[in-house]
C-alpha cells in the first residue's frame, strides 16, 4: 500500500470511530429514555426497590450496547439502511435483553430481579425509537437531496420497465443531486403495475402505449431498462419510442443486474446502437463446434487489426488456441489489439504480432515457415468502393495477389483450413472492389489441388459499425448537427453485426469439409434512408426538421441493391438454418494461373481503364452499376 493510500485509510478509520461512538451514544440515550418512560409506566406496580433503578439501567445499556456492536449495527451507513439492518437491530436488542434476563435470574438475588414487564416495554420502546431515528434521518436526507436534485433537474425522463432495473435507476438518479434527470413515469407490460405507483411514480401503461402517452408531452428522454426483453420485442419497443420526439437510450442487460447502491447504472445507459435496430434475431452459432475447431491450434489472422479481423482475434482467443498469429500492415491497429489481448488474457494466450503485407510473397512464406499455422482467416483486403474505383491496381495487388500469396502458402505448408472473408459485393459486382473480391473467391476455388487443405470463402453483407461503414459516418454527422447524407433514397443493404460476422467466419471454417462458398441468410435488407431516419429519432430529434437528410447521388461503382443469392437455385442448405452453401463451378489451377498472368501484365501498363477491361473479361458477371440498377428497377416496375 502506498503512503497516500495508507494516509487515506488511516483518515477514514479515524472518521469512522467518532461516527460509531456518536451512534452508540445516540442509541444509549434512546435506551435510557425508554427505560425511564417504562419505569414511569410501571413504577407503582413494581415490587423491586426504587434504589436499584440505576443498576437495571446500567445493565440494560451495557448488554444492548455490546450486542449492537457485535451485530454490526454501526458498520453500515444509515443512508443505505435496508431490511437487513433493521433486522440486525431487532436481533441485537432482543439478544441483549435475553442475556439481561438470564443474568438477572442466575446472578442477581430475588429481591433485585429485573421486572420482566419493564424489560419488555424497554425493548419495544427503544426498538421503535431507534428505527424511527433511522427512518427520520433517511427521510430528511432524501427530502433534502430530492429538493436539491429537483433544482438541478432539467430533463424529464420516462423509464420503460418498472422492475428491479428501472427502480434501481430511479434510486440512483435521485441520490445524485447533480444528475440533470427527473423521472416522471414508468411503462410496464405487467397489468398489476399498470395504473399503480412505483417509488411514488405512476406506471402510465403498457409498452405498446408509449407513443400515445408521450407524444406531445414534456418528457424529452426515454430509458429502456428491461433485461428480460428478447431482441424482437426490444425492437418493437424501440419502434414505439421512435414515434415520440424523445431521445431514446437503453440499459444493457448485463449492467441491469448491478445493485442499486453501486452507482454504476446511469454511467452504463447508452444511446441506441444500430444493432438494436437490426431487422432480425441475432444469429448465434455452435460454440462447441468452433471450440473444438480452434482449441490447441495455431491460428493466423491476416488483417487482424481491422474491424472483422480484430473481433475474430478476440473470439479466437476465448477458444484457447495454441498460438494466435496476427498479421497486419498497419502497426497502430496491431499495437492497440496487442495491448487489449494482453490485458484481457495475460499469460493465457500465446500471441504473436507480425507487421507485414500480404502482397509480399516472400514475407508470407517466411511467416508460414516460422509458425506453421493450422487455421488461416484471411481478412486483409482493401474494401472501400470509391477508393478502389480510383485505384484499381491496388485492389488487384492487395486483394487478389494478397489472397493468392496467403492461400498458396497455406496449401504448400499443409494448413488444415484457409477461410477467406468475402462480401455480397462479389455477387454480380458493379465495382472494382467487388470484382476483386470475386477474383479472390476464384483464387480459393482454384486451390483444390492442395488435397490436405480445405479452402473456404464466407460471404456476408455490410457490417454494422465497421471502419468505413455508413453507421460511423451517420454518428459523426449527427454529432455535428447534420445533415445526414445518403447516396440514394432507394438504396438498400443487408446488415450484420461485427460479432455475428466473426462467428459466421469461424463457424464456416469449423463445418467446411471441402472447398465451398458459404452464404448467410441475413433476412430482409434494410433501407439506408430508414436507418438514418431512425437514428435521428432515437436521438430525440425529428428528421428533416431538426436534422436534414440529403441525397448526394450514387458513388462510382455503387449499386442500389446488394445480392446474396438467397433466391438462387444453386444454394444448398446446411445443418444450420441460416447458413447456405453456394454451388460453384470448379476453376482449374491452369486457368487461374493464366488469369493471374494477365493481371500481372495489365498492371504493368499502369492504365486503370485497361485493368478494369481485363477484370471484366476474367469476371463475366462484372457489369456497370447503371446496367444492374436499371435492370433491378425494371423488375420492380414489372412486379408493381
Give me the pLDDT at residue 3, please: 45
Residue 101 has which C-alpha cell?
A: 434476563
Instruction: Enter the pTM of the model.
Output: 0.64
Yes or no: domain 287-631 corresponds to CATH 3.40.50.720 = yes
pLDDT single digits (tens) 598-638: 999 999 998 999 999 999 999 998 887 777 666 655 555 54
Q: Which of 452, 377, 387, 389 is nearest to 421 (CA)?
A: 377
Question: What are the start-end ranges of the H helices in 420-557?
Answer: 432-445, 470-479, 498-511, 528-538
φ/ψ region of 416 (left if φ > 0, alpha if ψ in -120 to 50, else beta) reads alpha
Q: Is 81 within 8 Å of 134 (Cβ atoms)?
A: yes
Four-residue CA torsion sign, 457, 458, 461, 465: negative
Give me the pLDDT at residue 15, please: 42
Give me the pLDDT at residue 76, please: 64
pLDDT single digits (tens) 351-372: 999 999 999 999 999 999 999 9
pLDDT single digits (tens) 243-282: 787 888 888 754 444 444 444 667 678 777 666 665 555 5
Give me the pLDDT at residue 274, please: 61
CA distance 632 to 45: 102
CA distance 507 to 290: 6
CA distance 340 to 289: 26
Give me the pLDDT at residue 511, please: 85
Give me the pLDDT at residue 150, please: 59
Helix (H, G, I), strand (E, B) or coil at 428: coil
Which parts of the chain have pLDDT scores under 70?
A: 1-17, 42-53, 76-83, 110-114, 142-153, 231, 253-265, 267, 273-287, 463-469, 521-524, 557, 559-570, 628-640
Give me the pLDDT at residue 559, please: 65
Max distance between CA atoms of the chain, in angstroms, equals 120
Helix (H, G, I), strand (E, B) or coil at 41: helix
Yes or no: domain 153-272 corresponds to CATH 3.40.50.300 = no
Dihedral pair phi/psi, residue 587, rounded to 5°: -110, 125
Give me the pLDDT at residue 113, please: 66
Q: Report domain extents, the chain.
A: 15-144, 153-272, 287-631
pLDDT single digits (tens) 62-95: 888 888 888 777 776 555 555 677 778 788 888 8
Give me the pLDDT at residue 256, please: 43
Residue 389 has which C-alpha cell?
A: 474505383
What dihedral do alpha carbons 499, 501, 504, 506 form, nearest 10°? -70
Give me the pLDDT at residue 29, please: 87
Give me the pLDDT at residue 9, please: 45
Tell me, yes or no, if the two domains 153-272 and 287-631 fold the same way. Answer: yes
Give me the pLDDT at residue 4, please: 40
Give me the pLDDT at residue 583, please: 74
Give me the pLDDT at residue 258, please: 42
Residue 368 CB coordination number (10 Å): 22
Q: Is 269 within 8 Å of 170 (Cβ atoms)?
A: no
Q: Is 627 within 8 Å of 557 (Cβ atoms)?
A: no
Give me the pLDDT at residue 352, please: 96
CA distance 507 to 603: 36
Amino acid at each position: 500500500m502506498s503512503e497516500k493510500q495508507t494516509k487515506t485509510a488511516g483518515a477514514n478509520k479515524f472518521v469512522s470511530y467518532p461516527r460509531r461512538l456518536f451512534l452508540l451514544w445516540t442509541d444509549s440515550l434512546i435506551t435510557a429514555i425508554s427505560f425511564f418512560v417504562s419505569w414511569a409506566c410501571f413504577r407503582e406496580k413494581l415490587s423491586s426497590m426504587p434504589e436499584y433503578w440505576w443498576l437495571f439501567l446500567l445493565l440494560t445499556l451495557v448488554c444492548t450496547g455490546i450486542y449492537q456492536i457485535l451485530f454490526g449495527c454501526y458498520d453500515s451507513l444509515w443512508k443505505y439502511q435496508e431490511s437487513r439492518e433493521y433486522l440486525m437491530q431487532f436481533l441485537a436488542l432482543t439478544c441483549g435483553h435475553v442475556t439481561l434476563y438470564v443474568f438477572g435470574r442466575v446472578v442477581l438475588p430475588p429481591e433485585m430481579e429485573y421486572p420482566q414487564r419493564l424489560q419488555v416495554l424497554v425493548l419495544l420502546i427503544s426498538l421503535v425509537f431507534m428505527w424511527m431515528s433511522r427512518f427520520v434521518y433517511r427521510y430528511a436526507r432524501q427530502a433534502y437531496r430530492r429538493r436539491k436534485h429537483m433544482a438541478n433537474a432539467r430533463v424529464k425522463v420516462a423509464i420503460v420497465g418498472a422492475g428491479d432495473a428501472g427502480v434501481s435507476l430511479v434510486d440512483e438518479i435521485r441520490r445524485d443531486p447533480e444528475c440533470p434527470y427527473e423521472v416522471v413515469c414508468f411503462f410496464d407490460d405487467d397489468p398489476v403495475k399498470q395504473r399503480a405507483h412505483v417509488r411514488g411514480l405512476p406506471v402510465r401503461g403498457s409498452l405498446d402505449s408509449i407513443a400515445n402517452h408521450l407524444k406531445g408531452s414534456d418528457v424529452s428522454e426515454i430509458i429502456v431498462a428491461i433485461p428480460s426483453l428478447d431482441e424482437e420485442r426490444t425492437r418493437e419497443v424501440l419502434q414505439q419510442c421512435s414515434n415520440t420526439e424523445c431521445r431514446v437510450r437503453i440499459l444493457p442487460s448485463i449492467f441491469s443486474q448491478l445493485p442499486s447502491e453501486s452507482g454504476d447504472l446511469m454511467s452504463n445507459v447508452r444511446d441506441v446502437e444500430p444493432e438494436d435496430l437490426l431487422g432480425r434475431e441475432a444469429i448465434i452459432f455452435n460454440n462447441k463446434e468452433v471450440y473444438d475447431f480452434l482449441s490447441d491450434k495455431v491460428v493466423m489472422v491476416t488483417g487482424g487489426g481491422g474491424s472483422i479481423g480484430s473481433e475474430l482475434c478476440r473470439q479466437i482467443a476465448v477458444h484457447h488456441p495454441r498460438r494466435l498469429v496476427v498479421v497486419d500492415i498497419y502497426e497502430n491497429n496491431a499495437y492497440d489489439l496487442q495491448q487489449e489481448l494482453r490485458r484481457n488474457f495475460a499469460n493465457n494466450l500465446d500471441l504473436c504480432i507480425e507487421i507485414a503485407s500480404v502482397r509480399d510473397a516472400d514475407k508470407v512464406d517466411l511467416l508460414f515457415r516460422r509458425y506453421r499455422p493450422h487455421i488461416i482467416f484471411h481478412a486483409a483486403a482493401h474494401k472501400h468502393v470509391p477508393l478502389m474505383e480510383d485505384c484499381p491496381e491496388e485492389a488487384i495487388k492487395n486483394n487478389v495477389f494478397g489472397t493468392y500469396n496467403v492461400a498458396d502458402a497455406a496449401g504448400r505448408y499443409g494448413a488444415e483450413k484457409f477461410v477467406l472473408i468475402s462480401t455480397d459485393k462479389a455477387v454480380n459486382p458493379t465495382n472494382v472492389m467487388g470484382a476483386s473480391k470475386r477474383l479472390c473467391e476464384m483464387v480459393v476455388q482454384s486451390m483444390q489441388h492442395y488435397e490436405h487443405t480445405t479452402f473456404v470463402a464466407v460471404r456476408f453483407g455490410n457490417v454494422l459499425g465497421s471502419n468505413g461503414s455508413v453507421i460511423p459516418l451517420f454518428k459523426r454527422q449527427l454529432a455535428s448537427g447534420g445533415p445526414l447524407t445518403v447516396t440514394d433514397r432507394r438504396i438498400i443493404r443487408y446488415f450484420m453485426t461485427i460479432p455475428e460476422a466473426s462467428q459466421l467466419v469461424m463457424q464456416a471454417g469449423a463445418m467446411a469439409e471441402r472447398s465451398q462458398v458459404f452464404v448467410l441468410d441475413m433476412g430482409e435488407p434494410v433501407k439506408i434512408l430508414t436507418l438514418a431516419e431512425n437514428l435521428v429519432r432515437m436521438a430525440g430529434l425529428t428528421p428533416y426538421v431538426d436534422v436534414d437528410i440529403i441525397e448526394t447521388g450514387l458513388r462510382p461503382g455503387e449499386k442500389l441493391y446488394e445480392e446474396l443469392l438467397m433466391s438462387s437455385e444453386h444454394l444448398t442448405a446446411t445443418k444450420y438454418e441460416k447458413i447456405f452453401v453456394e454451388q460453384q463451378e470448379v476453376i482449374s489451377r491452369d486457368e487461374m494461373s493464366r488469369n493471374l498472368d494477365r493481371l500481372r501484365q495489365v498492371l504493368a501498363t499502369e492504365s486503370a481503364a485497361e485493368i478494369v477491361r481485363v477484370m471484366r473479361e476474367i469476371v463475366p458477371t462484372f457489369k456497370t452499376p447503371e446496367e444492374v440498377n436499371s435492370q433491378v428497377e425494371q423488375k420492380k416496375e414489372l412486379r408493381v
